[in-house]
């Protein structure tokens, strides 16, 4: 029997603007990790916990995934999700899917498929094949953000000020709140899952890191889920880089620390949570805040 460990996150970015929201986020993370821990203790495998965890986080409107996803520039929600089985070193994901409740369900389904990563066009067809009901993921808070951002961009245009740079996490943490789960089960198997509504107000067709191995990666050595500016995470190949370092002999803390430090020097805005084959947990960030909690044995650790 190996030490089971779980870490979950609900995104990274600037400090939360209000205390009530922080309380909701804390309560949501706390109850979700408790439920996952019970499942793990009852013998559920790493992939099943990664699946359940991301679905529970997607169903919670406080996060930018599933219900409560950020809205893209054309007013549409498009979500991306992935899951990776560390034992089989098998990645599957869905990119920019519209009108489903849980993109993670589709990413899990694709684990058994020949074509394991689908874009928006393929996703619509798959959702139909899977008979997934149509779902509206928009919540009032996101709609207000989108309207505000639209006004800002129009007034910027009039003032001939350039559009916000891709390194800006917008007002009200517009794009933050991506979710992720990394887990090691009682048999020592590892898995990672990540789900996002994207950066918010992005150009149609933009691909997030969350359904790539830069943002979500697992092998027999460890599992990592990232959050932050997708372009920054991709430039750093962050999740895969951390795991390769563990494989090359670094401890998990060293691998996360070195990768985050390099990213900080390049002024990236990102964060990662990780577990390894020894049952260690770790996380790191270049942002002000990372909403994460981890559990192993009796120890529960919070990142904020
Ligand atoms: N990484 C996500 C993206 O860029 C956003 C986030 O994690 O907050 O799409």
Geometric angle at alpha carbon 173, from 144 and 227, rounded to 5°:
130
Quote the ligand 1 centre to 21 CA distance (angstroms): 19
At residue 162, the pLDDT reads: 45
Helix (H) or strand (E) holding 150: helix 140-158
Q: What is the mean pLDDT of residues 267-282?
A: 98
pLDDT for residue 173 is more than 80: no
Res. 298 pLDDT band, cuts 50 70 90: confident
Q: Is there an atom of ligand 1 within 6 Å of 229 CB?
A: yes
Q: Average pLDDT, whole number, for the chain?
A: 93
Q: Is 227 a catalytic residue?
A: no
Q: Which atom of ligand 1 is nearest to the CA of 80?
A: 9
Res. 53 pLDDT band, cuts 50 70 90: very high
Residue labelled with tokens 């049952």? 279
Q: What is the mean pLDDT of residues 76-101?
A: 98
Quote the ligand 1 centre to 141 CA distance (angstroms): 18
Helix (H) or strand (E) holding 120: helix 120-129
In this predicted model, what pLDDT tens digit does every residue of 218-253 receive, in sequence order?
Answer: 999 999 999 999 999 999 999 999 999 999 999 999
Quote the ligand 1 centre to 119 CA distance (angstroms): 17
Q: Which residues make Cβ contacts (< 8 Å) with residue 268, sequence separation at least 6?
A: 167, 228, 229, 232, 233, 235, 236, 286
Q: How far is CA 244 from CA 31, 77, 89, 238, 294, in A?
A: 32, 34, 13, 10, 22
Q: Which of 38-52, 140-154, 283-297 has the lowest mean pLDDT?
A: 140-154
- pLDDT over 90 percentage in the chain: 86
143/293 Cα distance (integer angstroms): 28
Q: Is there an atom of ligand 1 within 6 Å of 227 CB?
A: yes
Q: Is the CB of residue 271 less than 8 Å from the CB of residue 228?
A: yes
At residue 159, the pLDDT reads: 65
Q: Which residues make Cβ contacts (< 8 Å) with residue 26, sequence separation at least 6?
A: none
Quote the ligand 1 centre to 1 CA distance (angstroms): 35
pLDDT for residue 110 is more than 70: yes
Q: Which of 94, 209, 291 to mutate to test the pocket of ligand 1 (most atoms within 8 A of CB)?
A: 209
Q: CB atoms < 10 A from the CB of 203, how many?
A: 9
- pLDDT over 70 percentage in the chain: 94
Q: What are phi and psi of 172, to 5 degrees?
A: 60, 30
CATH topology for 5-302? 3.60.20
Higher pLDDT among residues 168 and 49, named by residue: 49
Res. 153 pLDDT band, cuts 50 70 90: confident
The residues that bridge with 275 in the sheet, in sequence order, are 223, 281
Look up residue 266 and give its DSSP letter: T
Q: What is the mean pLDDT of residues 89-116?
A: 98
The residues that bridge with 232 in the sheet, in sequence order, are none
Residue nearest to atom 4 of ligand 1 (CA): 230
Reference 141, options 176, 172, 168, 169; nearest CA is 172
Helix (H) or strand (E) holding 22: helix 19-41
At residue 156, the pLDDT reads: 75
At residue 206, the pLDDT reads: 98
Res. 152 pLDDT band, cuts 50 70 90: confident
pLDDT for residue 101 is more than 90: yes
């Amino acid at each position: 029997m190996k030490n089971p460990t779980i870490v979950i996150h609900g995104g990274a970015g600037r400090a939360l603007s209000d205390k009530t929201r922080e309380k909701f986020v804390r309560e949501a993370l706390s109850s979700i990790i408790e439920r996952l821990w019970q499942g793990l203790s009852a013998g559920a495998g790493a992939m099943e916990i990664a699946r359940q965890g991301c679905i529970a986080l997607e169903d919670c409107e406080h996060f930018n995934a599933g219900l409560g996803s950020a809205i893209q520039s054309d007013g549409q929600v498009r979500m991306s999700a992935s899951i990776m089985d560390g034992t089989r070193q098998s990645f599957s994901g869905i990119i920019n899917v519209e009108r489903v409740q849980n993109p993670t369900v589709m990413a899990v389904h694709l684990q058994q498929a020949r074509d394991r990563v689908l874009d928006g066009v393929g996703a619509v067809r798959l959702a139909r094949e899977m008979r997934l009901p149509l779902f509206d993921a928009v919540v009032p808070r996101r709609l207000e953000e989108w309207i505000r951002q639209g006004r800002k961009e129009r007034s910027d245009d009039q003032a001939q000020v350039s559009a916000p740079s891709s390194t800006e996490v917008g007002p009200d943490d517009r794009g933050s709140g991506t979710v992720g789960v990394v887990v090691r089960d009682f048999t020592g198997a590892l898995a990672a899952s990540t789900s996002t509504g994207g950066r918010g107000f992005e150009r149609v067709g933009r691909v997030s890191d969350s359904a790539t191995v830069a943002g979500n990666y697992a092998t027999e050595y460890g599992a990592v889920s990232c959050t932050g500016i997708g372009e920054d995470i991709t430039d750093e190949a962050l999740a895969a880089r951390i795991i390769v370092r563990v494989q090359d002999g670094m401890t998990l803390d060293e691998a996360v620390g070195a990768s985050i430090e390099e990213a900080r020097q390049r002024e990236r805005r990102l964060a990662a949570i990780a577990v390894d084959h020894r049952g260690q947990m770790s996380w790191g960030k270049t942002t002000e805040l990372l909403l994460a909690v981890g559990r192993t044995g009796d120890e529960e650790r919070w990142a904020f």
